[in-house]
Amino acid sequence: MKIVVLVKEVPDTYGERRLDPTTGILDRSGDLVVDEIDERALEVALQYKDGHKDAEVVVLAVGPASAKDALRKGLSMGADRAVHVEDDALAGADALVTARAIAAALRGEAFDLVVAGNESTDGRGGIVPAMVAELLGLPLLGSLGEVAIADGSVRGTRLTETAATTLSAPLPAVVSVTEKSAEARFPNFKGIMTAKRKPLAVRSTGELGVGSTTPGSRVLTVAERPARAAGTTIADEGDAGERLVAFLRERKAI
């Protein structure tokens, strides 16, 4: 069983995030970390590997040179090797170009399962896993809170506010997980030290045959969210109820 986990480096959620008003691209000059949802995706794969020692877990990232840090984190957590798609042509890539690069890298792996986070904490697009599955012609089980991997199939539960839906698909397949999935483990000292010796292959778009890297979509405008307006305070002087009703009627709320 070979499981490939997609990981991404994103701006630290504890730092300030801003879009460049000219390019519409997220400013990544601050601290970068592995996206937490991708760590949870990796935990799904590692839990399977814990019970199946012959399983191989590969972490794959598309991004600049700094993305190697995210891959090394995955290796320190327990992944066996890493693949880094790094190319200046991917700067400013949209979701589809990113998905094409991922799919091209995956075609070079005889994988059984691809596991990803359902959406990154920077872009919040939530469409890359579906695009990858479509490009590879594979079934997608999206937004799973629980995942069970077996020989020849994968099964999972999608949790919503009103229902729990059980889904399954034959392997190979693509799954994406939510924040309801398993909490990621912390790397131990041995894992951190051995990660330095684990294989990390770097691939270019030309080598993988990605094709056009010109984004098909672009950001038209970027604007800061307007400040929240102050509410109206109604002091109770015996007529608060009447004044509240009048306030709501004026705004056609009742």
Task: Provide the total of helices (H) and of strands (E) in the chain, helices listed first.
Answer: 7, 12
Predicted confidence at residue 232, as pLDDT, reads 75
Q: Outline where 63-145 has alpha helix (H).
A: 67-77, 95-106, 128-136
The answer to which of 134-138, 157-161, 169-173 has the lowest mean pLDDT is 157-161
The whole-model pTM stands at 0.84
Pairing of strands 153-159, 146-150: antiparallel
Q: Is 28 a residue whose pLDDT tops 70?
A: no
The answer to which of 22-26, 47-51, 114-118, 224-228 has the lowest mean pLDDT is 22-26
Output phi, psi for 9, to 5 deg.
-90, 135
58's CB contacts (< 8 A; 6+ apart) are 2, 3, 4, 5, 79, 80, 81, 82, 83, 109, 111
Token pair recorded at residue 200: 């990390």
How confident is the model over 179-194, as pLDDT tens digits? 999 899 999 999 999 9
Burial tier of 89 (Cβ tally within 10 Å: 0-12, 13-18, 19+): middle
Distances (CA, A) of 152 to 52, 117, 122, 148, 251: 14, 22, 34, 12, 58
The answer to which of 109-118, 141-150, 211-220 has the lowest mean pLDDT is 211-220
Contact 114, 132 (CB under 8 A): yes
Predicted confidence at residue 25, as pLDDT, reads 65
Q: Report the topology of domain 2-208.
A: Rossmann fold (3.40.50)
Predicted confidence at residue 29, as pLDDT, reads 65
**141/189 Cα distance (integer angstroms):** 34
**19/135 Cα distance (integer angstroms):** 29
Predicted confidence at residue 186, as pLDDT, reads 95
pLDDT confidence tier of residue 251, bands split at 50, 70 and 90:
confident
Predicted confidence at residue 178, as pLDDT, reads 96
Token pair recorded at residue 133: 């599955």
Between 135 and 235, residue with greater pLDDT:
135
